[in-house]
Structure 1
Amino acid sequence: MNPLIRAVLSLFAAPRLNMREDYPKVRRFQRRMAARPVSRYRVFDRQILSEDGTHRIPVRVFQPRERRREEVLLFFHGGGWVTGDIESYTPACAAMADLTGCVVASVDYRLAPEHPFPAGLHDCLRVAQVLLDDPQRAGIENADRVVLVGDSAGGNLAAVVSLRLRALGHPGAKRQILLYPVTHWDHDPATSPFPSVRNHGEDYRLTNTEVQDYLELYVPDPDERRSPLVAPLMAEDLSGQPDTLMITAELDLLRDEAEAYARALQEAGNTVRVHRVSGALHGFIALPRFSRALRDAYEVINAFLDEDPVARKSDTDGTESAA
């Protein structure tokens, strides 16, 4: 990268925080930044009872200004499994609904460290099962129109939910959109197998140290971090996964592991499309609607949503890739 461009982009780096101590401050800051006029968004809140009946999982449903597609996007937010919620992601989800013309259902899963792995995963899995088993709840005729979507840690959860559904013998979703997801357990530049961890882990939106702190808060047991339920790239069997759109950010330390997961899905016989957003930083899905990175991503997302997964599966068993 041009040194001048690198220097300018470094000005947008996230403040260096000790996430182990500062995560409550980050949560409060995110909510303040996402404060919204009540009349701006067409939303309604629902709750789904957890499988064990011990708590309710909030789900915020966003209606687009103009509904152009039948799909319901089941969204798992980012934030390192530690920060983020349906309040802080409300602007991004409202934009997603309007820019795709789809209903968006955002899941307020439990966060670490108060609720470490696998609590948040169980919440996401439960909501996915309920929606896939009873799609009429969301006003759609069949489960083929449910699309799993997640960014960063939420992309990790979407991928793992798909893996878990297959392991349970559930048909699962037909499609998933993974936005710069976490797929690996090691983000130490000295030991990571991915160049992007070394090249982009210090200067920009997300750092190596922050990702490792998030992982340790989410999964306190070091041995569990290599589980496919935490690091899906470690899964031995990736067959039978949904048609996947993988979107990565050029200047993101997670870029290479996300694209490696896409390749692994392809090699397992799944249909995968990969799109890298040039010049983008981690977390760009939350940028204002006029941003170039956001417009680039939604052009690809809308093209993916326009494809009919049922018809395509009957036409070809191959894979596709676009960089």
Structure 2
Amino acid sequence: MRWYLHVDMDAFFASVEQVLDPALKGKPVIVGGGNGRGVVTSASYAARKYGVHSAMPGFQAKKLCPHGIFLPNRHRIYSEFSNKIFAILEQYSPEVHAISIDEGIVDLTGTERLFGPPLNTANEILARVEKELGLSASGGLSTSRVVAKIAATLAKPHGFIYVPPGTEQVFLSPLPVEAIPGVGPKTHQELLQLGIKTIADLLKHPDLRRRHLDLDEPGHEGRSHDHSIGNETTLDKPLKEMEKMAEVLWGLVEEVGARLRQEGSYARCITVKIRYANFKTITRSRT
């Protein structure tokens, strides 16, 4: 039987800023978008109470939370904290897969002899991240990667959900299909047209069940599905020089490439999106 712990940091960038400046604890911290031109990259839960969320235009965030504390992005510092988080995860398994800078999956299969039951190990990992780094994380533990991911998402913020073997369908059934990772607006609409609103509805269709959940696979290991891997950034000042633009672009490409290599995957389609100061967006793709 396989065991997967999905770790997802809570409001990561904003939480790092609060660790570095304890006076920000409990306050509406908003990272990015402070000049009214960019977008929000992270918002503390105190800021989210006002409707602020990541990817929101800065001017809109200021309208919703005028007293919010806007801070610039400090990607180098966030990367340093991310490295420390994954260093802790890697002490418990050689199979740690980074999904993003603040999210990863730890394969705890076969670690019982060293660390004891996976449930105890999962709790220990989350506790260590909080104790050693001052950052809260949410986690999900299951025999399926997909279920572990869903559990971690439902556990946010600062929670943990354990889905015992054999209870996966009971856990999943009442949830809406959009709770499944990879089910975006387009797929959601396609499923709705088939009369599929909940995961319980989806489980009645063996082909869709295997495609989206893989609960029938031996050991619930799951298979690799088509999905997107992306990276983006918001500039503090508009750029006009091609060399500087290329430098930023290659930095984004390198991070995406690293994640592809880590997964052992390759890209079939590449998309570049540019958003101007007036929020006009241009997208180009090549397959």
Same fold by TM (over 0.5)?
A: no
Q: TM-score, normalised by structure 2?
A: 0.26
Bigger radius of gyration among the two: 2
